[in-house]
A and B are shown apart, each in its own frame.
Chain A
Amino acid sequence: MAEIKINDSINSDVLVVGGGIAGMTAAIEIAETGRRAVLLEQKASLGGQVATFHQYFPKLCPPACGMEINLKRIRVNPLITVLTLSQVKKISGSPGAYEAEIVLNPRFVNEKCTACGDCEKACEIERNNDFNYGLDKTKAVYLPHLMAYPLRYVIDPKFAADERMKKCLAACKYGAIELDMKPRNIRVKADAVVWAAGWKPYDAAKLDQLGFGKYPNVITNVIMERFASLSGPTAGKITRPSDAKEIKKIGFVQCAGSRDDKHLAYCSTVCCTASMKQAAYIRERYPQAEIHIFYIDARSPGRLEDFYAKLQKDSKVFFHRGKVGKITENPQNKNPIVAAENTLTGERRALELDMAVLATGMVPNTLDEPPPLNTALDDFGFIAPGASQGIIGAGTAVRPMDVSASVQNATAAAAVRPMDVSASVQNATAAAMKALALVSRPRQPADNAGVSLLKSDKTPEAVAV
C-alpha cells in the first residue's frame, strides 16, 4: 500500500465531507458500487451526532448496532479512504472535475497506536469531555469513544506542547505518540462532492425564558442522551445535575427554538419523537417516574405514530398541548417550574418538576461554515435543492431529518433539512446516486484490493514527514 505524503494528491471519484451517518452512508454506498470515495471528518472519529445517541426511536435500539455494520463495511472496503481531523480549505472546479485542498490536523498519535491505553494511564492532564457536553473529563490523551473509528487515541491539541505529556510519550511502547506532529495539506481530486456536514443543537442559552444555563436542572435533549448512555457522564443514571438525585418527575419542552420566528422558523422534525423516545426509556428504567410533555403539535409521521399511540396509553406519561412560556426555579429545592397554557383547556398552569428537558432543534453546520464553493443555501443555512449541479447536499445539511431519512438521502445526499436517522440514510443514499451520476470512470475492476490508498486505521499520520 502506498502512503499519503505531504502535498500528495489523492485521486478519488467522490469526496464526501462529513463523517456522520449521512456522510458515512454516502461514502459506503458509492464505494459498494465499485467507485472510490474519500470520506472526510473534522473530528477524531467517525459517527457524528448519532454516535452520541443512547437509543433510536422507535425501537429503542442502540445506534452502535447499525454503526457497527457500517464500520465493518468501511473496514473491508479498500475503495474508501477515511480522513479524520480534516477540513476542506478550498474547492475548485466543477462537476466531473473538482479539486479540494484539505488540511489534516495533527492527532499527535500516529498509526502505530494499538489503543492499548498505556498513554492514558500515564497521563496527568484532564480535559472537558466534549463528547459528553463537558459534563465529565477525559485525559488529555483519549480514545474518542468505544466505537471510535479509527480506533486510535488522540491528544487534545491544547496540551500537545505541555511538558507533562512527555510522560505519555515515555509510556507508549510503540512509538505512537508524536507531540510535534504538524498540520499537513493534501489535495483530493474527485468527480463529485457530497456535503454532509451535519447539524448541531440550537444553542439553548439563546432561549432566555427557559432558564438553560441559569438553572442546573434544565438540560437539553442531546444532553439527556448522554445521561442515559452507559458511557455518559453518569454511567447511565438519569440524575439531576444539581444534586445527583434520580428523577421522579420530568418535563419535556417541545419546540425549544424550533417553529419560532425569533429562533428557528422551521420544524426540526425529530424532536417530538426524540422526546417520546426519551420518555419511553426513562419509563422503562424508572417505573415510578412521571413524564410531562408540553407540545404544540405532536409530530410522529408514518409508523412512528404507533410509538406515540403506545406512549399515550402509558398512565404516567402526560401530554400537555401548549407551548411553554417560561421556566423558573424553586430556590429551595432547585426544581424547575414550567409555566404553560394548555391550549385545549385554556388553563394556565405551572408545574414543578425535578428536571426539565428542552427539546432543542437542529441547526445545519453549513449555516456557520458553508461549503467553500459557491453553493446556494436557504435562509436557515441548509443547502437549497437544485444545487445538485455543484455540491450535492446530504443529510441534515439539507433539512432536519432522522437517521432513516438521512440514510435515504445520503444514498441520495442530505445537507438539506432537519431529518431523523432513517431520513438521513435515505437522503444520503440518494446523494450517493447523484454523485455517482457525475462519475465518469467505470467501476473498479473486481478484487482491486490494494488500490494505492491507505485506509484510515493506518492513514495519514503514518506518513513519513
Chain B
Amino acid sequence: METKIGSYICQGCDIANSLDIDKLAKIAVEEGKAAFCKSHQALCSREGGDLIRSDIEKEKINRAAIAACSQRVFPELFDFGKDVLTDRIAIREQAAWTHEPKNEDGQMLAEDYIRMSLAKLQNSEPAVPYAAQTSKDILVIGAGIAGLTAAQAAAKAGYKVALVEKQDRLGGWAAKFRKVFPKHPPYRDPEDSGLNDLVKAVETNPNITIYKSSAAAKISGQPGKFEVTLDKAGQNVKLDIGSIILACGWKPYEADKLGHLGFGLSPDVITNAAMEEMALKGDIKRPSDGKPPESVVFIQCAGSRDENHLPYCSAVCCRVSLKQALYVRGRNPQAKVYIIYKDIRSPAQYERFYAQVQEDEGIFLTKGEIARVAKESDGRIKVEVKETLLGHDISLKADLVVLAAGMVAATKVEPEKTDSSEAKTPVEESKGPDAALDGKKAASCAEPGARILNLSYRQGTDLPTLKYGFPDSHFICFPYETRRTAIYAAGGVRAPMDLASAATDGQGAALKAIQAVEAIARGAAVHPRSGDLSWPEFFMQRCTSCKRCTEECPFGALDEDAKGTPLPNPLRCRRCATCMGSCPERIVSFKNYNVNMISKMIKSMHIPDEFEEKPRILAFVCENDALASIDMAGFKRLKYNAMVRIIPLRCLGSLNTVWISDALASGVDGVLLIGCKKDEDYQCHFVRGSELASYRLGNVKEKLKQLSLEDERIGMHELAITDFHKIPGIFDDFLKVIVKVGPNPYKGM
C-alpha cells in the first residue's frame, strides 16, 4: 500500500509560543512529503485524537507524524491500530521546554526533528507479527517443591505440563526433610512440608504428564516450538513444548572441602543434610557408635560466607540448624546443643522461630569463629571457638558436630569438571576461547557442561549465569528473567532459598511460562519489550558469515550453519536489535526499525555550512533510560544548547556504526551515545547493549584516525535514568569539545 503521511503539530504546552508552527508545517509538506500538515491546540485532547482518526478514515492516511510531546507520554492516545504507523516527535520536551522561545536555533532544531520524523515514516512499515503454529505446553524440569508447585499451578490454569524428574520419585529435597520452617502464625514450631498432598495433586492432575527417571537429552528449536527429546531410562521420548521452567534445584556444598571444620576427622562430624536424613528416619545417633548424642555442636556457615568456598550466604542454614537443634532436644531432653554462628539470619516472621529456640535452656547460641576442630582421645570432638559473645574463647566437647553446609545451584559447574572426558559436541567446541568475541565476556559466562537443558543453541547448552552459577539476568527488578527466552528458573537453582520461597518461585515461574506461550502464540515479544510485534528479517544474500550477530545476541536467538551463516529463530527474539547493530553488511531489519530508516533520518537533517558556525551534534540515546532522563530534563525546564539532535534507539546495542559514518559524511560535527551502565552492576535491560556499543565505538575511533578525523568527535556516556540534571552538562560540554576541534572537514562534500 502506498505510504500516505499525515503530519500533525500540537500548539499546546508552550509549543506555539516557542516555535514557528507555520514554518514547521511547510517543511513537513514540502521537504518531508507529508500529504498535509495540520496543527491543533491540544493533540492529546479528544478532539485532537478525533482529528487524526477522521483523517485516517477520510483521507486514508496510513502514517501519522505527531509533533507534540514525548513518545513516553500518553502513548495509548496515539495508537491508531496496527495498520497506522505513528511517530512521536518530542518538540515539547526536546524543543519548546529546553530551548529559548522564538529562537533561531531552537526553530532549526524542531525543523530537523520534523524532517527526521518524516524520513522515518517514509522508510518504515507497520510491524506484522511472526505467525507460527505454536505449542502452549509447558515443560518443567525438576520435581522438587518448586517444580511440583509450578506444574500444579500451570495445570490448574488449564495448560498441559510435562514434568520431568531425574530420580524415580517426586519431591526432591522436600521429601528428605523431617520438618520445615514454621510458615504459619505464630511461627514457632516446625511444620510438615505438605509435600504428600502436593505430590498427590500433581499425580492425579490430568493436565500433567510425569516422566520419572528422565532427563532432557536434547532441546532444539525455539519458544512455542521447542523440540524436546527426553531420555526416559534409556528410551527417547519426543515432546513439542512452548516454554520451559528449570527447577532442577540445588546440591549441598561438598563436605569434602570442609576439612578445616573437621569433616573427615571422625564419622561423628556430619553435614546438616545427613542430620536431616537421620531425623527423618526417626533417630538421632552418633554414627561412630550408634549412641544418642549428649552434646551437639552446630557450626554455621560451613562453606558459605567464605571467600575460599561460597562467598554468598546460603540463606537457609541458620534456620535449618535452629530446627535441627529442636530435633535433638526433642529426642533427648538432656542433650546440650551449641550453635556457633557468624550472624543468625532468621528473616521476617522467622524471628519468632528464632525466639522460640532461644527460650530453650538446653540450646546455647553464640557468635564465634571456629579456631580448631580436633578429635579427642575419647573419640569426642573438641571445637575451639574464639571471638564469642561471652568475651572469651570457649572450648566445647561434642558427641556430634553438624556442619551447616550451604546450597549450590545445580547449574553450577566446578571449573575442573568442565568439559570432562566426554566427547565434545560441536556446540561445545564452538564455545572455546575463540568464540568469546574480541575480548568481551560474550557467552563465556554461561555454564557450559551443566548439561541439564542440553539446548542445541549456538551459544551453549544451558542458561547463562552471572555469578556463582545462578542463571538470572536482572535479579533485583525482574528476578525470573534469564537470557534464554521462555526458559525461566525457579527455586534453589535461581538463588539460595527455603522451601516456602521455592514454592512461591514455582508459582511465579509458572505465570511467566504461561505468559511466554501466550505472547509467542500471537507473535508478540516477552519482557522487556512486551507486546512488540516486530521481528528481525535477514537479507541472507549479502551475509558474509562473519558470525557477529550470532555471537552478540544477548539471548542466544541465532544459531549457525556449518559455514557460520546465521539461522534466525524469531520466536527466541527479544527485539533489542543487537543483531542489527552488529551487522557490518546491514542485512538485519525490522519493519519499523532498521538501518536504512535511521540512515535516512540522519541524511534528512539540514546541515548549515561551516561559516554559519552552527555545529551539529547527533545523539543516539537508549529509549529505556536515557530518553526518560531527557524527558525529565524537559519537565524541569533545564536549558541546553540547540545544536544536538536526538535519535532514540531500542537499546544502544542496536547501534550500527554505519550511522556514525553517515552522520560524519553528512557533515555532522560530533556524535554522542548515551546508554546504561555496563559491566558487573549493569543496568542495560538487554544485559549487554551498552557494553557492545562501547566496544563498537572503539573500532569506529580507529577508523576515524584513518580518515584523519579527531576521535573527540565521538563521545559516549553512561547515564542513569534519574540523572536528568546531567543532561545539559553532557550536551554543552560536548559542544565545547566540538567547537574546539572545529567543523567537520567533510561538511558540504
Give me the interface of A with B, judged by CB distance under 8 Å. Answer: 29-30, 32-34, 56, 58-62, 64-66, 68-69, 72-73, 75-78, 112, 114-117, 143, 146-147, 151, 173-174, 229-231, 258-259, 265-269, 297-306, 309, 321, 343-346, 378-380, 382, 384-386, 399-401, 403-405, 407-409, 411-412, 417-419, 421-423, 425-434, 436-437, 439, 442-443, 446-447, 449, 455, 457-458
CB-defined contacts of A446 to chain B, threshold 8 Å: 521-522
Is B79 part of the binding interface, using a Cβ–Cβ cutoff of 8 Å? yes
Instruction: Identify the closest chain A residue to B77 (Cβ).
Output: A458
Contact A62 B722 (CB under 8 A): yes
Contact B518 A34 (CB under 8 A): yes
Instruction: Identify the closest chain A residue to B521 (Cβ).
Output: A446
Contact A344 B721 (CB under 8 A): no
Give the docked Cα–Cα distance between A75 and B529 (Å). 12
Contact B348 A400 (CB under 8 A): yes
Name the prevailing secondary structure of the A interface residues: loop
Chain B positions 365 through 403: 1 when the CB is less than 8 Å from some CB of chain A, otherwise 0: 001000000000000000000010101000000000000
Contact A403 B477 (CB under 8 A): yes
State the Cβ distance, B405 to closest chain A Cβ, in Å.
16
Is B33 part of the binding interface, using a Cβ–Cβ cutoff of 8 Å? no
Most buried by A among B69, B304, B343, B528: B343
Contact residue among B475, B515, B724 (Cβ-Cβ distance under 8 Å from A32): B515
Contact A458 B74 (CB under 8 A): yes
CB-defined contacts of B312 to chain A, threshold 8 Å: 302-303, 305-306
CB-defined contacts of A75 to chain B, threshold 8 Å: 75-76
CB-defined contacts of A302 to chain B, threshold 8 Å: 312-315, 495-497
State the Cβ distance, A41 to closest chain B Cβ, in Å.
18
Most buried by A among B315, B511, B721: B511
Contact B311 A306 (CB under 8 A): yes
Give the docked Cα–Cα distance between A403 and B479 (Å). 9
Contact B476 A404 (CB under 8 A): yes
Contact B504 A61 (CB under 8 A): no
Contact A425 B14 (CB under 8 A): no
Chain B positions 169 through 191: 1 when the CB is less than 8 Å from some CB of chain A, otherwise 0: 00000000000000111110000
Contact A66 B347 (CB under 8 A): no
Instruction: Identify the closest chain A residue to B341 (Cβ).
Output: A297
State the Cβ distance, B187 to closest chain A Cβ, in Å.
8
CB-defined contacts of A422 to chain B, threshold 8 Å: 475-477, 479
Contact A115 B522 (CB under 8 A): no
Give the docked Cα–Cα distance between A437 and B510 (Å). 11
Contact B343 A299 (CB under 8 A): yes
Instruction: Identify the closest chain A residue to B307 (Cβ).
Output: A309
Contact residue among A174, A343, A437 (Cβ-Cβ distance under 8 Å from B157): A437
Give the docked Cα–Cα distance between A300 and B345 (Å). 8
Name the prevailing secondary structure of the B interface residues: loop
Contact B311 A33 (CB under 8 A): no
Contact residue among A33, A267, A405 (Cβ-Cβ distance under 8 Å from B350): A267
Contact A404 B479 (CB under 8 A): yes
Contact B389 A344 (CB under 8 A): yes
State the Cβ distance, A289 to closest chain B Cβ, in Å.
21
User: Can you name 7 A-B residue pairings with CB atoms under 8 Å?
Assistant: A266-B351, A302-B312, A303-B467, A306-B311, A407-B480, A412-B504, A447-B522
Beyond A34-B518, A65-B624, A303-B467, 17 extra complex contacts between A and B, CB < 8 Å: A66-B476, A69-B477, A69-B527, A73-B527, A115-B635, A146-B724, A265-B352, A299-B345, A302-B313, A378-B349, A404-B475, A428-B508, A434-B153, A437-B157, A446-B522, A457-B74, A457-B76
Give the docked Cα–Cα distance between A29 and B153 (Å). 15
CB-defined contacts of A426 to chain B, threshold 8 Å: 479-480, 501, 504-505, 508
Chain B positions 30 through 45: 1 when the CB is less than 8 Å from some CB of chain A, otherwise 0: 0000000000011011
Is B683 part of the binding interface, using a Cβ–Cβ cutoff of 8 Å? yes
Is B443 part of the binding interface, using a Cβ–Cβ cutoff of 8 Å? no
Known pairs A309-B311, A407-B478; A76 contacts B721 (CB<8 A): no
Contact residue among A61, A77, A436, A443 (Cβ-Cβ distance under 8 Å from B531): A77
Contact A344 B515 (CB under 8 A): no
Contact A301 B345 (CB under 8 A): yes
Is B665 part of the binding interface, using a Cβ–Cβ cutoff of 8 Å? no
Chain B positions 67 through 86: 1 when the CB is less than 8 Å from some CB of chain A, otherwise 0: 00100111111010110000
State the Cβ distance, B725 to closest chain A Cβ, in Å.
6
Give me the interface of B with A, judged by CB distance under 8 Å. Answer: 12-14, 41-42, 44-45, 69, 72-77, 79, 81-82, 153, 156-158, 183-187, 304-305, 307, 311-315, 343-352, 355, 367, 387, 389, 391, 467-468, 470, 474-480, 495-497, 500-501, 504-512, 514-515, 518-519, 521-522, 526-528, 530-531, 624-625, 628, 632, 635-636, 676-677, 681, 683, 685, 720-725
Contact B476 A433 (CB under 8 A): no
Contact A65 B683 (CB under 8 A): yes
Give the docked Cα–Cα distance between A344 and B387 (Å). 7
Contact B153 A437 (CB under 8 A): yes
Contact residue among A32, A56, A266, A449 (Cβ-Cβ distance under 8 Å from B476): A56
Contact A73 B683 (CB under 8 A): no
Known pairs A344-B387, A404-B475; A69 contacts B685 (CB<8 A): yes
Contact B514 A408 (CB under 8 A): no
Contact B505 A33 (CB under 8 A): no
CB-defined contacts of B496 to chain A, threshold 8 Å: 301-302
A-B pairs with lowest CB-CB distance, top 7: A66-B477, A429-B508, A430-B507, A411-B508, A297-B343, A433-B511, A378-B185
Contact B511 A33 (CB under 8 A): yes
Known pairs A68-B624, A302-B495; A173 contacts B12 (CB<8 A): yes
CB-defined contacts of B185 to chain A, threshold 8 Å: 378-379, 384
Give the docked Cα–Cα distance between A400 and B42 (Å). 45
CB-defined contacts of B515 to chain A, threshold 8 Å: 29, 32-33
Instruction: Identify the closest chain A residue to B676 (Cβ).
Output: A65
Give the docked Cα–Cα distance between A76 and B683 (Å). 22
State the Cβ distance, A360 to closest chain B Cβ, in Å.
16
CB-defined contacts of B528 to chain A, threshold 8 Å: 69, 72-73
Contact A65 B721 (CB under 8 A): yes
Known pairs A302-B495, A378-B185, A433-B510; A77 contacts B530 (CB<8 A): yes
Give the docked Cα–Cα distance between A112 and B47 (Å). 11
State the Cβ distance, B521 to closest chain A Cβ, in Å.
8
Known pairs A115-B73, A267-B350, A408-B479; A60 contacts B157 (CB<8 A): no
Contact A407 B477 (CB under 8 A): yes
Contact A305 B313 (CB under 8 A): yes
Known pairs A62-B720, A65-B720, A306-B312; A417 contacts B508 (CB<8 A): no
Most buried by A among B72, B76, B158, B311: B76
Contact B635 A146 (CB under 8 A): yes
State the Cβ distance, B401 to closest chain A Cβ, in Å.
22
State the Cβ distance, B249 to closest chain A Cβ, in Å.
16
Contact A437 B156 (CB under 8 A): yes
Contact A449 B157 (CB under 8 A): no
Contact A419 B348 (CB under 8 A): yes
Contact A385 B307 (CB under 8 A): no
CB-defined contacts of A428 to chain B, threshold 8 Å: 508
State the Cβ distance, A99 to closest chain B Cβ, in Å.
22
Contact B345 A297 (CB under 8 A): yes
CB-defined contacts of A345 to chain B, threshold 8 Å: 391
CB-defined contacts of A65 to chain B, threshold 8 Å: 477, 624-625, 676, 683, 720-721
